[in-house]
Amino acid sequence: MEKETIIKYLHLIEEFKNKDSKMIEYKTKLEFLSKETASLYAHKEDPEAQERLNETTSQHEALKKEKETYLKEKFKTFMEQCPKSIVNMILDDAVNFELLEHVLTQVKNYKEGNITYSDGLNNGLEFIRKVNNLPDDFFVKQ
């Protein structure tokens, strides 16, 4: 799948997540359950709190799976054809467009024979280092 197609669909999916009423409901409920779980975790030694913690964790996992199924149904063809790592980013709400665009460019250059695997890896590490303002010797490059 081409870089431009992936980026285009990711933007569409992100827009869908922010506008679709069911996705907004999932987000709201998942945020509530996450906060509830965090507050209960502080009292995990209490048997009643532990029981409630188990319930909220189970509810969170079930709701997350339901949300994932909904997204996979809405964008079935894309999800089936897209690399699994990108699908996981979508499902985990962890899409970093700047990093993804850089990675897809490196993959494209590697596939076209313009760079070696090591060059692509080193370019990625250098990108991460610069974006995060890390010292020059933070990563050991190949």
Residues 120 and 80 in one domain: no
10-19 pLDDT, tens per residue? 999 999 999 9
Residues 65 and 119 in one domain: no
If pLDDT is split at 50, 70 and 90, which confidence band does 135 have?
A: very high
Residues 24 and 68 in one domain: yes
Tokens of 87: 């699908």
Instruction: Note whether 1 and 83 are within 8 A (CB).
Output: yes
Residues 84 and 110 in one domain: no
**Sequence-distant contacts of 63-67: CB under 8 A, at least 24 apart:** 63/26, 63/29, 63/30, 63/33, 64/30, 66/26, 67/23, 67/26, 67/30, 67/91
Domain hosting 55: range is 3-93
Residues 40 and 63 in one domain: yes
pLDDT at 95 over 90: no
- How far is the C-alpha of 127 from the C-alpha of 18, rounded, in Å? 29
What mean pLDDT comes out for the span 121-138?
91
- How far is the C-alpha of 64 from the C-alpha of 91, rounded, in Å? 9
Domain count along the chain = 2
Tell if the pTM clears 0.95, that is, is over it: no
pLDDT at 64 over 80: yes
